[in-house]
Amino acid sequence: MDCEKARELIFRAADGELSADERIALDTHLAECAECRAVCDALAAVSAELRETESVPEGFAEKVMDAVREEKKIVDLSARREKMKKRFQPGNIAIWVACACLVVMIGIVEFTPVGHTKNVSSPYFMADQAAVFESAEAESAAAEEAFALPAAEEAALVAEEAAELPAPAEAPAPEMPAPEPAEFGGAINEAPAAEMEEDIAVNGAARGADTPNALVPALMVNGTLYRTTGTQLPVEPDDSAILGYVSSVVPLSQWPETEGQANFGGPDAPYALTEDGLIVLTDGEWTLFEAISE
């Protein structure tokens, strides 16, 4: 046997893969070849050293659990914040605007001086006014609905939260609806790499077929990719709004793949959630980011 073949057997032997015949052939070679013996010994030393585990630092498990509990708090908090945010989404904003208009209109009608009304009491005006009242009534109904909506949502939220807390023991099969921490944490973030790449491919496609690579500043937060809108906001978010800090940075040509990873700037840049959306501190300015895909 030549040394090359022997080396191959040595490396395979490290995994206990050799047949009896191969073992004998290798031993025969080792008996007469000091070099291969040295290689064999070296690998044995590596395996021996790796088997010799060091004890974990004192209090490690406690520290981990503290961090985990902290994580749970953050997740609960941001999940709540996310839910709050949903209430002020565009659909609802229209209703709020309608309410505001209504209030203004009622004001106009109520406080129009009576004398003034008399002076211009043409049939047309009366008709107009009646129309205003009619529509005011209609909108008032709409307003009641609108005001009722957040309350209903609130109730739904409470019910949702209640449902999430003591999930029955039979629940969590692999495909079960994720409870809060996971739903928010890294369901995508730490999903198996294959899925991850699929996600990224999809997101990449969403940016246009001609940009398979990222090439746009992006950041992954809670498993969602956000890209820059280029809009700088003259805001200074509250410390409590800060969701985290950029944990690691990949080249601009790549999409961030893990929680807090960005493909621009430097690590430790803070990002925060505000009414406008996700903002990231880049070059001393807070820049608005938008989710690439839902």
Partner 1 sequence: MTKTEEKAIIERVLSGETDAFEALVLEYQTVVYNLALRMTANPADAEDCAQEAFVKAYRSLASFRGDASFSSWLYRLTTNTCLDLLRSRKRRGEVSLTDDSDETDAELDIPDETDTPETAAVRKETRETVRGALAKLPPDFRGVLLLRELGGLSYEEIGQQMNLEAGTVKSRIFRARKKLAAILTADGNNPHAETSDEREVR
Contacting residues toward partner 1, per CB under 8 A: 7, 10-11, 14-15, 35, 38-39, 41-43, 45-47, 49-50, 52-57, 60-61, 63-65, 67-69, 71-72, 75, 164-169, 171-172, 174, 176, 178-183, 185-194, 196-197, 247-249, 258-259, 261, 266-267
- Collect all residues with Cβ–Cβ distance below 8 Å to 244 and sequence separation of at least 6: 221, 259, 260, 270, 271
Q: Cα 293 from chain centroid?
A: 11
In terms of CB distance, is 188 or 235 closer to partner 1? 188
In terms of CB distance, is 183 or 276 closer to partner 1? 183
Which DSSP category does 177 fall into? P
In terms of CB distance, is 126 or 163 closer to partner 1? 163
In terms of CB distance, is 68 or 100 closer to partner 1? 68
Least distance (Å) between residue 245 CB and partner 1 = 12
Q: Which helix (H) or strand (E) holds 245?
A: strand 242-245
State the burial class of residue 265 (Cβ atoms within 10 Å of its Cβ: 0-12, 13-18, 19+). middle
Least distance (Å) between residue 153 CB and partner 1 = 23
Identify the bridge partners of residue 278 per DSSP, sorted by sequence position: 273, 289
Least distance (Å) between residue 7 CB and partner 1 = 7
Least distance (Å) between residue 59 CB and partner 1 = 10
Asked if residues 140 and 147 have their Cβ atoms less than 8 Å apart, the reply is: no
In terms of CB distance, is 44 or 100 closer to partner 1? 44
Q: Which helix (H) or strand (E) holds 230?
A: strand 224-233
Residue 170 is encoded by which pair of tokens? 């039979």
Least distance (Å) between residue 225 CB and partner 1 = 16
